[in-house]
Amino acid sequence: MCGAELMVTTTAEAIAAEAPGAETADAPKGITVVKLSFRAGGASGFHASLKDALAGQAWVASSLAELTDEPVASDGRRATSGGGISTILSTAHESERARDETLQSAFADLDALTAKAKEIVGMAEHLATQLHGGKHAPEHAFRQYLLDLGIDSPVTRDTAGAVFHSELARELCDYLEHYVAQCGGSVALVDAYCLYNRAREFSPVFPSDFAQACRKFADLDLPLRLREYPSGLLVLEDAASADDALVLARVDSYIASFGPLTASDLAAIEDCPLALAEERLWLAERHARVCRDEAVEGVRFYENRFRPVQ
């Protein structure tokens, strides 16, 4: 401050006023004492500054500033002091790392989910084979539920390649045969598609692939058949009961025992979708087995009395 050598002289104002006792008591114990002499004045200004520093506890404040130094830097508020490009780079790096972490944890979750699904399917199959011996209806039903849960290693385009549709057709037959039989020998293609895709879980098939595979049933001599009704309704049928004659015979017998039928009557009797019941009645109509009565209440089908009596 003064630039000159400091002489060991006590400034009466500063030291004597602060600790007159300390000078005499502390000095002999070897505590460093600094004596400042102000020859060309300025002592009062220094004293004021010192008092401020003591009052504000400047040493505590500066150490606090040092502690909060790092977060401030990552915030980029100190970019000016840290320096241009390197700070930008490190910031970019930082956010990339955060993103990686998020993705990794997300995929770890998905893997876990897949692994669990496979486990569950495996468990279901295991239980199913264990129950195989049992012929009791509830056990049988339970076994079917388990089978319905899923398909292990389903056929995909990647695994089957060129024969994808044929392979898919085989798998479809294996999977759906039981269901079709349960539904009285025929189900709407849409229902079958939903059921099958639910079982495939993570690798659903496209509707077009599904329909294409179904069209191969006859060529591959599989036990199911795809039938397209004139209205465009697609139906999967049991090859054994796909015969028109059987449908016609059933409709005939229903009319004989229940009287004239509406499509919803037939849907209730056969427990099939309304659209399918309509198609069956229309089929019978095309074969001149029934005739219709159109009234305000709807269309009702009667036995065909117009057939010329031979």
Partner 1 sequence: MASTTAAAGEPFQFPEMYNFPPFFTRQPNESTWKEQRRQWCDLVLAFYRHNRLYSMSLAEAVTEPPFANRQLRRALRVDVLREVVDELVKQGNAVWAGAKGTKDICLVFWRKPEVWATMIHQWASERGLFNTVLTVFELANGDDTAGQEFHGLDAATLRRALDVLQSQGKAQLFAGASDEDLGVKLFA
Note the residues at the interface with partner 1 (CB under 8 A): 260, 285-286, 288, 291-295, 300, 302, 304-308
CA distances from 7 to 18, 37, 39, 50, 285 (A): 20, 6, 10, 20, 129
At closest approach, how far in Å is the CB of 269 from partner 1?
A: 20
What span, in angstroms and rounded, lies between the C-alpha atoms of 13 and 7?
16
Shortest reach from residue 277's CB to partner 1, in Å? 17
Expressed in percent and rounded to 5, the helix, strand and coil fractions of the chain are 65, 10, 30
Minimum distance between the CB of residue 306 and partner 1, rounded to whole angstroms? 4
Q: CB of residue 292 vs partner 1: minimum separation in angstroms? A: 6
Q: Which is nearer to partner 1, 140 or 286 (CB)?
A: 286
Residue identified by tokens 């502390």 is: 26
**Would you say 271 or 297 has its CB closer to partner 1?**
297
**What CA–CA distance (Å, rounded) separates 216 from 3?**
105
Q: Pick the closer one to partner 1 by CB: 5 or 294.
A: 294
40 contact partners, CB below 8 Å, separation of at least 6: 2
What are the CA-CA distances from residue 32 to residues 3, 46, 60, 214 (Å)? 21, 20, 22, 100
Q: Which is nearer to partner 1, 73 or 291 (CB)?
A: 291
Minimum distance of partner 1 from residue 289's CB (angstroms): 9
Is 194 or 288 the residue whose CB approaches partner 1 more closely? 288
